[in-house]
Amino acid sequence: MKLDDFTSIFPKLPGAMPIWHGTVNAQDLYSLCEQVKQAGGKLVSLWGSDETEKGGHYALHVSLLSIDGMLVLTLTVDQTKPAFPDLSVLFPAANRMQRSVTDMLGLHPTEAGDQRKWLRHSTWPDNVHPLRKSFDMNTRFTPEEDNYSFVTVTGKGVHEIAVGPVHAGTIEPGHFRFSVVGERVLKLEERLGYKHKGIEKRFEYMTLQQGAKLAGRISGDTTVGYAWAYAQAVESATLTTPPPRALWLRALFLELERLLNHIGDLGYLGNDAALAFGFIQFWILKEDLLRMNGDLFGHRYLMDRIVPGGVTHNLDNSGLLRISEMLNHIKHETGILKDIYDEHAGVQDRFLTTGFVAPDLAAQLGLTGLAGRASGQAWDARAQFPCIPYDQLDVQMATHRNGDVAARVTMRFEEIFESVRLIRLMLEQLPAGELSAELGNANEGVLGIGWVEGWRGEIMVALHVGENNRIHRLHPHDPSWQNWPVLEHAIMDNIVPDFPLINKSFNLSYSGVDL
Amino acid sequence: MLQIIKQILLTGNKTEAPPQPNDAMRNGVQQINAQILNHVGRALAIRHVDAGSCNGCELEIHCLNNAYYNIEGLGINFVASPRHADMLLVTGPVSRHMEIALKRTYDATPDPKLVVAIGDCGCDGGIFGESYASCGKVANVIPVDVTVPGCPPTPTEILQGILTAVSSNK
Ligand code: SF4
């Protein structure tokens, strides 16, 4: 099957984004993945589902990004021999996703080199797969030994530093194992999955309406991104079109979320480079913005403000004015702070060349989102596949090729200024009208996909509809899946004390991938 | 440098008055004794443990360090090791994968110690509840003194929870 034809062969899914879906055999799946890769495209996500009750088989789903849009492929997987082609040879980012499919559903990639468990620790045995329909969410097991085999580095003077899961700061839990010589890092190996709390299984006990709240809690710092992607997926499956005003307000929320995270990160990046002044300044700004959100929309992080069909909160003229003043404040303060960061020799010394990811390595490993754009990977759905209202705002994508901490810092500054510009336009052009549309019914078996450019990168939500507007299967995808493995490369040859700075410059989600 | 000093002066002092302790948040038998009470006012050492949150509660804990709440100015410090801590601030439903780590962190914290569970998830399991993968509320795994509901609770509410715990038996 030829990639060029996919938009004509496969049906386009209803909804806001250019997404096509088709069912293929194993050979075509591999071949299409190969063609997407050769054409400069990339893997977004990979997940499985249990169709044994109605269809007598399992399924593997793969979503890919090409310049034409998103291509979602479904492969029927035999119940008695649940295997699928190993895609990690094409897309290294598939490694952990495939291992999760094995843990959660018991489907195996054929001949994959790395078949270690990923999401499963010691809580449930290896012959149990929680996302199988026969598995009851409330089953309990007696934990066994974890026995995870880390890759060990040997050689003269090599020793290991093991960190976590409980870290020394207010951050999410995960385990990092450094192999070092002196202070120089030879290798970092990550072990995640500590926050696995059964999100995907829980979705399967919910209706399409109920799922919205859980979607907004997959990764708290991206609550708007996930809520919007979830709403898109439901709206696609139910053939619902939200009113224009709701779509504009959603984009406003998404850009406010981007501002919050970028501003907070810039503060911490200053702090990690020993400029406490930067933390104090940026976090005053962040608190100002949070309070504005709380006053105008009733939640500091805008949780649950986007619901399937529309949004819950309106914006009046005094609110418009308040946001407009806040934008002036942010632009003014951030401008001053950018000059200070740029001219501070100590800060620049820590930022420049640290945690370097070359553009070709970024392309090979699939580095995505903000971190990808800092290493020459020019993907931003707001600019390339603009839905309402981005199609009317001419989003300017920021990209850099230096790939170091400094580049990821500069990206954040530039995206703050761009978000300020976008929000200004939104305030000027916000259409009048309703805040939500009534949801239609979804047919069983329908697939709905949501796809939003969150502050970290692309957020995708895949919804497989069950009976009576219930969720049969839901897979949320966080860009951290792609970027965590690249962090292992970014730290190589750097010194251990630079790890917090490098880690912060990526600021990846644990909860978003542990699920 | 001049620009930094100018910006500091222009910013001024943002720190606000702290909230009052809230009796409604008290929960169970609190282990506080005179020794810790003596510490309060000079330095209360807190170790935060994320036991499986969505990271939303962490965002608000971070805010406690901003200039508006200025928690260090009140004599409250976040420390890097449970061995230095008087109090554990625990977020999230406790994922089963974090159960042992949380218990070990609790055991590593010297007595007498206080535990404050943060957020709807910490209080009752929240939207994640109990399952094959989640132990639910923090109190299902370690003893809890004070619970602070909210999703996520605001920095003021979290601070109120902390002050409520340390001011018990006063
Ligand atoms: S209480 Fe809310 S914000 Fe806190 S961890 Fe739970 S879902 Fe996230």
Domain residues of chain B, as ranges? 16-166
Say which amino acid occupies A484.
W
pLDDT of residue A373: 97
* Number of Cβ atoms within 10 Å of the Cβ of A2: 9
Query: How close, in Å, is residue A62 to chain B by CA atoms?
Result: 25
Nearest Cα residue in chain A from B125: A197
Quote the percentage of chain B above a pLDDT of 90. 61
Average pLDDT, chain A: 95
For residue B42, pLDDT over 80 is answered with no
- Do A3-110 and A241-437 fold alike per CATH? no
Dihedral (Cα; A283, A285, A288, A292), 10-degree rounding: -120
In angstroms, what is the span from residue B53 Cα to ligand 1's centroid? 6
Residues in Cβ contact with B24 at an 8 Å cutoff, skipping those fewer than 6 apart:
none
In angstroms, what is the span from residue B92 Cα to ligand 1's centroid? 6
Q: pLDDT for A212-261, tens place per residue?
A: 999 999 999 999 999 999 999 999 999 999 999 999 999 999 999 999 99
Question: CA B159, CA B168: separation in Å to the nearest integer?
Answer: 14
Query: How close, in Å, is residue A498 to chain B by CA atoms?
Result: 17
3-class SS at A77? Answer: strand
Question: C-alpha angle B20/B150/A197, rounded to 5°?
Answer: 140
CATH 3.40.50.360 fits A3-110, yes or no: no
Q: Give A-chain residues touching B129 at CB under 8 angstroms.
A: 202
What topology is assigned to B16-166 in CATH? Rossmann fold (3.40.50)
For residue A167, pLDDT over 50 is answered with yes
For residue B24, pLDDT over 80 is answered with no
Nearest Cα residue in chain A from B61: A170
* Number of Cβ atoms within 10 Å of the Cβ of A407: 23
* Number of Cβ atoms within 10 Å of the Cβ of A414: 18
pLDDT of residue B16: 85
What is the DSSP secondary structure assignment for residue A151, as one 8-state letter? P
**Stretch A141-167: mean pLDDT, rounded?**
88
Question: CA A470, CA A458: separation in Å to the nearest integer?
Answer: 25
**Stretch A172-178: mean pLDDT, rounded?**
94
In angstroms, what is the span from residue B149 Cα to ligand 1's centroid? 9
Of A124, A170, A195, the CB nearest to B95: A195
pLDDT of residue A255: 98
pLDDT of residue A6: 80
* Number of Cβ atoms within 10 Å of the Cβ of A26: 15
Question: CA A45, CA A264: separation in Å to the nearest integer?
Answer: 28
Q: Look at B95 and A264 and tell me if their CB atoms are within 8 Å.
A: no
Q: pLDDT for A322-364, tens place per residue?
A: 999 999 999 999 999 999 999 999 999 999 999 999 999 999 9
Q: pLDDT for A398-408, tens place per residue?
A: 999 999 999 99
Q: Give B-chain residues touching A279 at CB under 8 angstroms.
A: 65
pLDDT of residue B18: 80
Sheet of A57-66: strands edge to edge?
A19-24, A69-77, A57-66, A42-51
Closest approach atom of ligand 1 to CA B60: 3
**Stretch B64-77: mean pLDDT, rounded?**
86
pTM of the predicted structure, to 2 decimals: 0.94
CA distance readout (Å), A119 to A101, A134, A167, A468: 9, 19, 19, 31
pLDDT band at B40 (very low <50, low <70, confident <90, very high): low
Query: How close, in Å, is residue A396 to chain B by CA atoms?
Result: 29
Mutate one of A170, A286, A478 to test the B interface: name it (highest B CB count within 10 A): A170
Question: CA B14, CA B9: separation in Å to the nearest integer?
Answer: 11
Q: What is the DSSP string of A424-448?
A: HHHHHHPPPS-SB-------TT-EE
- In chain A, the N- to C-terminal Cα span, in Å, equals 34
For residue A365, pLDDT over 60 is answered with yes
Q: Look at B56 and A221 and tell me if their CB atoms are within 8 Å.
A: yes
Q: pLDDT for B112-139, tens place per residue?
A: 899 999 999 999 999 999 999 999 999 9
Question: CA A449, CA A235: separation in Å to the nearest integer?
Answer: 9
Say which amino acid occupies A328.
N
E strands within A275-315?
306-307, 310-311
What topology is assigned to A241-437 in CATH? Cytochrome-c3 Hydrogenase; chain B (1.10.645)
Q: pLDDT for A33-79, tens place per residue?
A: 999 999 999 999 999 999 999 889 999 999 999 999 999 999 999 99
Dihedral (Cα; B169, B92, A456, A359), 10-degree rounding: 100
Quote the percentage of chain A above a pLDDT of 90. 90
> Which value does ipTM take for this structure?
0.93
Which helix (H) or strand (E) element contains residue A458? strand A458-465
Q: Give A-chain residues touching B154 at CB under 8 angstroms.
A: 294, 300
In angstroms, what is the span from residue A170 Cα to ligand 1's centroid? 15
Cis peptide before B19 (omega within 30 of 0): no
E strands within A232-356?
306-307, 310-311
E strands within A41-119?
42-51, 57-66, 69-77, 83-85, 108-110
Residues in Cβ contact with A52 at an 8 Å cutoff, skipping those fewer than 6 apart:
A58, A79, A132, A133, A134
pLDDT of residue B30: 38
Domain residues of chain A, as ranges? 3-110, 158-191, 241-437
Which helix (H) or strand (E) element contains residue A253? helix A244-272
Of A169, A220, A264, the CB nearest to B54: A220
Nearest Cα residue in chain A from B57: A220
pLDDT of residue B43: 78
pLDDT of residue B33: 36
In angstroms, what is the span from residue B57 Cα to ligand 1's centroid? 5
Q: Look at A197 and B68 and tell me if their CB atoms are within 8 Å.
A: no
pLDDT of residue B170: 38
For residue A106, pLDDT over 80 is answered with yes
For residue A391, pLDDT over 90 is answered with yes
**Stretch A390-394: mean pLDDT, rounded?**
96
pLDDT of residue B34: 43
What is the DSSP secondary structure assignment for residue A384, as one 8-state letter? H
Q: Give B-chain residues touching A282 at CB under 8 angstroms.
A: none
Position with higher pLDDT, B20 vs B64: B64
Which helix (H) or strand (E) element contains residue A422? helix A405-429
